[in-house]
């Protein structure tokens, strides 16, 4: 459990209304990460994911890619100690 970390990311660009949250959820589930993704009122997408650092790095790379209709301009990422409070990876409204 000590190899787990928490990634908190904010993704900017054309990331709402382009299936970005579903893309992130699918990728996170493939990587066996827990957490959530949600749209923010300012047009960004927030991602909180917990798991092994190597898988989180893969998710971070996927955030830069996004789904076909997205245009990612920036990804701000912070790594923190894990909370252990997440079960599964969900899309929050």
Q: Which residues are paired to 93 by β-bridges?
A: none
CA angle, residues 67, 62, 88, in degrees to nearest 5? 95
Q: What is the pLDDT along the chain (93 residues), one digit of tens a residue?
A: 458 999 999 999 999 999 999 999 999 999 999 999 999 999 999 999 999 999 999 999 999 999 999 999 999 999 999 999 999 999 998
Q: Annotated catalytic residue: which of 27, 38, 39, 93?
A: 39
Q: Annotated catalytic residue: which of 21, 32, 38, 78?
A: 21
* Pure H helices in 2-89: 20-30, 53-65
The parent domain of residue 78 ranges over: 4-92
CATH number, domain with residue 49: 3.30.70.100
C-alpha separations of 51 from 16, 22, 31, 40, 59 in Å: 25, 19, 9, 23, 10
- Count the domains in the chain: 1
Is 80 annotated in the active site? no
Predicted confidence at residue 2, as pLDDT, reads 55
């Amino acid at each position: 459990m000590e190899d787990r970390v928490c990634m908190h990311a904010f993704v900017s660009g054309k990331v709402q209304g382009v299936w970005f949250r579903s893309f992130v959820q699918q990728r996170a589930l493939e990587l066996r990460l827990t957490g959530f993704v949600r749209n923010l009122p300012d047009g960004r997408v927030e991602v909180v994911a917990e798991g092994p650092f190597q898988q989180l790095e893969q998710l971070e790379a996927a955030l830069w890619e996004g789904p076909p209709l997205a245009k990612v301009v920036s990804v701000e990422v912070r790594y923190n100690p894990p909370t252990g409070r997440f079960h599964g990876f969900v899309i929050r409204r």
